[in-house]
A = this chain, B = another copy of it.
Amino acid sequence: MSIRVGIVGISGFGGGEAMRLIASHPSFELVYAAGEGSAGSRLVDRFPGIPAKLAGLVIEKWDPATLPKLDLLFASLPTGTSAEALARVPGHVKIVDIGGDHRYVEGWAYGLADVWPSQIEGRSRVANPGCFPAATLTALAPLLADKLIEPGNIVIDAKTGISGAGRGGADSRFGYAESNENLVPYGLLKHVHMPEMAETIERLSGGSAAGLVFTPHLVPMTRGLLATIYCRGRATTDQCLDAARRFYAGRAFVRVTDRPPQTKWATGSNLAFVSYAADPERNLVIAMGVVDNLGKGAAGQAVQNANLICGLPETAGLDGVPVWP
């Protein structure tokens, strides 16, 4: 069975990673790619290493009125633009939006695939979680479900490789010489990922996420994301690890580890690693979540969600082993 797939936003890093995964997917056939900045060029000129079968595909200018026959569409567009861009896509086309515009919007499933896959199966519109939420919520879900931590006053200190900041435009903020050998905090006290994290924390715990703090940082590496999360709770380390192992038993992509996870363990894969270190006497639980920001933080989770809504095995096309070193 071949599912006809399109990608809009092929020039961005999320779209490019989606293409890489789709190219090796047993059931997906990429038949359409669109991107603003690259319309008119062949896919192989932008991605010299793609498989020969895709080499001749020409990048189109996005126009939902003239789409070819598609079963499934991945969207990876700049924040604020996908609501309009996707509004006129025919209803029979399933959509996974890697961007942020449809998270917790009516009619769209919030695609936290490792946590509530049953809420995604059978749907036709999925809003892929943001990269920071992917790592953070994966680590917190078991603790919230077992009430090992309070849902309020959670402090998330997150670190991401620079591909997580997007491709940018005419902007030297992410120029190599400026960014290399440099660590930069940004988005303090307000960041677009906070609402979806607060909403999810409340749904998972039944409590209030008041007092949520989130500080992202850019790290001089291409891929990788770690969230170090400080929570209040009187659990022990073992109780947290045990809760996570039970919560994710049978889930293919979440690994629970005894030792602090390193971002490179996930690079190039759809894996998430979680761990915990707790000090009950101090009412402190530290949770750690690692993903590849382009993997489970974006395109990997998007393909996983696509598998769920297409009724395919969840792991289809996602069994790539992390690239190391």
Contact = CB atoms under 8 A, between A and B. Distances in A.
A84 B222 CA distance: 40
A10 to B, nearest CB: 12
**Band of interface residues on A:** 35 or more
Q: Most chain-B Cβ atoms within 10 A of its Cβ — which of A49, A169, A188?
A: A49
Nearest to A166: B177
B181 A264 contact: yes
Interface string A150-194: 000001010101110001111110111111111111101100000
Contacts of A319: 24, 51
10 contacts: A24-B320, A47-B322, A49-B271, A159-B159, A181-B224, A182-B263, A183-B219, A183-B224, A267-B323, A323-B323
A284 B213 contact: yes
Contacts of A257: 48
B268 A268 contact: yes
Contacts of A188: 260, 277, 286
Interface of A: 13, 16-17, 19-20, 23-24, 47-52, 155, 157, 159, 161-163, 167-172, 174-186, 188-189, 211, 213, 215, 217, 219-224, 226, 228, 230, 252, 255, 257, 260-269, 271, 273, 277, 279, 282, 284, 286, 288, 319-325
Given A221-B182, A226-B185, A322 B159 contact: no
Contacts of A263: 182-184
B177 A51 contact: no
Given A176-B179, A185-B260, A268-B323, 5 more contacts: A49-B271, A49-B321, A170-B171, A189-B286, A211-B282
